[in-house]
């Protein structure tokens, strides 16, 4: 382990955590990431399992930690009591422990805390979570705020909520590409709305927020609420696929249950843009990043 590291990524095995760690390194910033898998530990990867009661001793050189870890599977959050324990009890406790050790925390949350019925909710809009995962993340934010305020650490962390992150491996993109290569039609859903961002955009924005270390709430969002049909058309145009290989349908028509089906997915970024200069990411930029 390098004692000169300055940044810590808690949850380095996740998609976002891995990209944040790589972005930190690419910028010449010294960083460590955590893993719960002992067999993968190494010089830049230290073991931290927040399910254990023992306090995690942060290397003294760490000034900022990105807490990306969470139980994120929607179905698991509905049925597994341990998912609640992780999201609402253990992770807030880990955040407070980091803060108490002098580390500024960037805590990653989700647009789903707004429930999907608010159009472009601001960084301080009311929560209205629906699914269990959203409720748990909302409760987690509340728990962290309560503990930090009581201990006098309100200025020592921020909350960054994200919309959907899309890369080349995100379903249904691989199956679409495979179908198009074989000249087959894809049937995207017009009733599934999201505001996609690329991991490249998100990781660079998070690193910027980590460098600035401004407290409060921040948002990272795609600039448009789009359907999967819109995404399919944009992708097809990018890679030269005929629109005739796209047939719009709906999840309802196909009998597909989708746990989180928001009317609006994009979240407002006025405060984030004003304080940090980060603009929402356009769909064309997302697609450029993917390819």
Within a domain: residue 175?
Answer: no
Classify residue 279 as exposed, middle or buried by CB count within 10 Å of its CB (0-12, 13-18, 19+).
Answer: middle
**Beta bridge pairs of residue 189:** 249
Within a domain: residue 179?
Answer: no
**Beta bridge pairs of residue 226:** 194
Number of Cβ within a 10 Å radius of residue 180: 20
pLDDT > 50? residue 246: yes
Within a domain: residue 98?
Answer: yes
Within a domain: residue 66?
Answer: yes
Within a domain: residue 59?
Answer: yes
At residue 138, φ and ψ (nearest 5 deg) are: -65, -45
The pLDDT score that the predictor gives to residue 5 is 61
* Tens-place pLDDT, residues 139-185: 999 999 999 999 999 999 999 999 999 999 999 999 999 999 999 99
Within a domain: residue 93?
Answer: yes
Taking only Cα atoms into account, the Rg of the chain, rounded to an integer number of angstroms, comes to 19
Within a domain: residue 154?
Answer: yes
Tell me, what CATH number does 80's domain have?
Answer: 3.40.50.720
Within a domain: residue 133?
Answer: yes
Number of domains into which the chain is organized: 1
The pLDDT score that the predictor gives to residue 72 is 95
Q: What is the mean pLDDT of the chain?
A: 95
Residue 203, domain extent = 7-165+196-223+266-281
**The whole model's pTM is what?**
0.95
For residue 150, what are the contacts with CB-CB under 8 A and spacing of at least 6? none
The pLDDT score that the predictor gives to residue 288 is 96
Mean pLDDT over 123-129 rounds to: 98
């Amino acid at each position: 382990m390098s004692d000169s590291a300055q940044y810590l990524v808690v949850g380095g095995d996740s998609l976002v955590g891995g990209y944040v760690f790589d972005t930190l390194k690419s910028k010449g910033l010294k960083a460590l990431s955590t893993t719960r898998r002992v067999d993968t530990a190494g010089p830049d990867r230290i073991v931290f399992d927040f399910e254990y009661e023992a306090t995690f001793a942060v290397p003294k050189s760490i000034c900022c930690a990105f807490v990306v870890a969470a139980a994120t599977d929607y179905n698991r959050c509905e049925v597994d009591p341990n998912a609640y324990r992780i999201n609402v009890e253990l992770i807030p406790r880990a955040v407070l422990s980091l803060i108490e050790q002098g580390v500024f925390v960037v805590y990653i949350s989700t647009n789903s805390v707004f429930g999907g019925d608010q159009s472009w909710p601001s960084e301080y809009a009311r929560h209205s979570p629906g699914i269990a995962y959203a409720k748990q993340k909302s409760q987690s934010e509340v728990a962290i705020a309560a503990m930090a305020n009581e201990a006098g650490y309100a200025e020592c962390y921020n909350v960054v909520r994200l919309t959907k992150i899309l890369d080349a491996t995100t379903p249904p993109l691989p199956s679409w590409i495979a179908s198009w290569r074989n000249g087959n039609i894809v049937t995207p859903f017009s009733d599934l709305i999201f505001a996609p961002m690329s991991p490249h955009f998100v990781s660079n924005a998070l690193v910027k927020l980590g460098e600035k270390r401004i407290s409060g709430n921040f948002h990272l969002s795609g600039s448009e609420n789009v359907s999967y049909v819109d995404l399919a058309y944009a992708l097809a145009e990018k890679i030269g696929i005929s629109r005739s290989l796209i047939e719009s349908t709906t999840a309802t028509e196909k009998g597909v249950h989708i746990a989180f089906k928001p009317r609006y997915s994009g979240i407002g970024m006025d405060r984030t843009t004003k304080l940090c200069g980060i603009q929402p990411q356009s769909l064309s930029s997302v697609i450029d990043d993917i390819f």
